[in-house]
Amino acid sequence: MSVTAPKGFIANGVHAGIRRQKLDLAIVRSTVPAVGAGMFTINRVQAAPVKLCKESLTLAEPMAVVANSGNANACTGLRGDIDARAIQAETARLLGLRSEQVLTLSTGVIGQPLPMGRILPALRPCADGLALGADAGRLAAEAIMTTDLRSKQSVAEGPGFTVGGTAKGSGMIHPNMATMLAIVTTDYPLASGAEAFAFLQPAVHESFNAITVDGDCSTNDTIVLLANGASGVERTAETDAAFRECLRSVCADLSRQVVADGEGATVVAEVRVSGAANDDEARAIAQRIATSPLVKTALFGHDANWGRVLSSAGSAPYGGGYAHLDPERVCLKYNGIVVLDKGAPTGVEPDVSGKTLLIELDLDLGDGHFMYLTTDFSYEYVRINADYRS
């Protein structure tokens, strides 16, 4: 189970006809009052549902999420805004909620109007079929997929409470808040949306904000956290700490699943930068390595061409210039094998033939550190995105 694992959450996914055959419309709802928060893309071009979610969160605590795949409702002008509100209002009517208590999410092709003649009628069977249990969570997880090869679900159990989540994402993954779409639910008691955000932000920073597939930041990136307190657990400093770890665990698991399911991905690489001047510079360097097309194509070729890593690290934009790096102090490892020691090559050729790779770069300048997940660039990635609309 995922979003339906915590107490008091029901879900469903149906085929509305946005996509040819696959499930494409989902609802997740708390059956009792909830609080919630969201984080969103920082892309200047933002989809209508992103803008509506932000507005709704300032007006009320959310109790439900409605999401569609196959169409992003982005770059669709005034009509897109009206369509998003219509979906929100109809979902709220069917669930007996106020419109602002429903958050709207969309993902898919940019620049095409939503097929409202299919979506609005499909909302009733989707709402009527809301249910508890693993199958309901699975249907919702499948309904938000686009080019994903598999649904992404995760659950973490705490002392007397549960955190569950689902996400979608495979391409256009270079988030600066979250992945394409993610919904996280919990029956842990939180006091307000502001408190939910305080827990969500650090969990996202080290998970969804630390992954890349292709370096493209989506117009629709959204992660929503709903907390309804249905567990009845008594809050203490210890349970807060446990909830924080469960939330981080679910976000980390979902983000790793997104990278592993990256479009055309054959290799997943973990880039760990340590010894940087500070954490922000470590992040800048890790991100630069993880997004380098030359590094990513070397991953696909299973070629330990570590010079590309060094070249990328030395050109990581930071503070109007580049992050600090002294090439004579750098150490680099591939899967634990030292290939560069204090700026001098060791002459050792590491084995990089597997489906995973650990790249560790120690700058020996300070205590800054950060980890990024990335994938290779394959022929299949090009094929998928060349034919995306067809």
CATH of residue 27's domain is: 3.60.70.12
Residue 106 lies in a domain: yes
With a cut of 90, say whether residue 176 has pLDDT above it: no
Q: 220, 238, 260: which is the final residue of a domain?
A: 260
Q: How many domains does the chain have?
A: 2
- Which tens digit of pLDDT belongs to each residue from 94-121? 999 999 999 999 999 899 999 999 999 9
Q: Token pair of 251, please?
A: 């976000």
Strand-pairing partners, residue 332, are: 340, 361
Q: Which helix (H) or strand (E) holds 205?
A: helix 193-205
Q: Let me know if 179 is a catalytic residue.
A: yes
- Do 78 and 95 belong together in one domain? yes
Q: Report yes or no on 3 lying in a domain.
A: no
Residue listed under structure tokens 């990256």:
262
Q: Are residues 377 and 248 in the same domain?
A: no
- Residue 4 counted as domain residue: no
Mean pLDDT of 166-183: 76
Residue 171 clears pLDDT 70, i.e. is over it: no
Closest among 358, 320, 327 to 342, alpha carbons compared: 327
Domain boundary among 260, 293, 314: 260
Average pLDDT, the chain: 93
Q: Are residues 240 and 273 in the same domain?
A: no
CA distance linking residue 62 with residue 53, whole number of Å: 10
pLDDT score at 385: 74
Return the ∠ at Cα 187 (arms to 184 and 193), rounded to 5°. Answer: 65
Least confident window among 85-89, 320-324, 384-388: 384-388
- Residue 318's domain comprises 268-386
pLDDT of 268 > 70? The answer is: yes
Q: What is the pLDDT of residues 335-359, one digit of tens each?
A: 999 999 999 999 999 999 999 999 9
Cβ count near 265 (within 10 Å): 25
Cα separation of 160 and 234, whole Å?
9
**What is the spatial distance between Cα 53 and Cα 40, in angstroms, rounded to a whole number?**
9
pLDDT at 177 over 60: no
Domain assignment of residue 1, yes or no: no
- Set 4, 179, 222, 239: catalytic member: 179
Residue 216 has pLDDT above 90, yes or no: no
Do 60 and 125 belong to one domain? yes
Looking at the structure, tell me whether residues 296 and 248 fall in a common domain.
no
pLDDT of 4 higher than 80? yes
The larger pLDDT score, comparing residue 43 to residue 160, is at 160
Domain end point (choices 226, 260, 294): 260
- Quick check: is 44 in a domain? yes
pTM value is 0.87
Distance CA 145, CA 16 (A): 14
Q: How far apart are CA 356 and CA 367, in angstroms?
A: 26
The verdict on 60 and 178 lying in the same domain is yes
